[in-house]
Amino acid sequence: MITDELRKQLADYLTLLINGGSIGGSGTISAGSAKIGLGGNSTSPMALDIDVDSGASPTIRAEKSNENVIQVFVEQVGSSITGQVIREMGIFDSAGNMLDRISFTGVGPFSSTETLQIYLTLEVE
Annotated domain spans of the chain:
4-123
pLDDT score of 98 more than 80: yes
pLDDT score of 10 more than 90: yes
Q: Tell me: the pLDDT tens digits for 16-42?
A: 999 998 877 667 889 999 999 998 776
Residue 121 has, within 13 A of its CA and on its CB side, a CA count of 7
Q: Is the bond preceding residue 45 a cis peptide, omega within 30 degrees?
A: no
Query: Quick one: pLDDT at residue 25?
Result: 67
pLDDT score of 47 more than 80: yes
| CATH code of the domain occupying 4-123 | 2.40.30
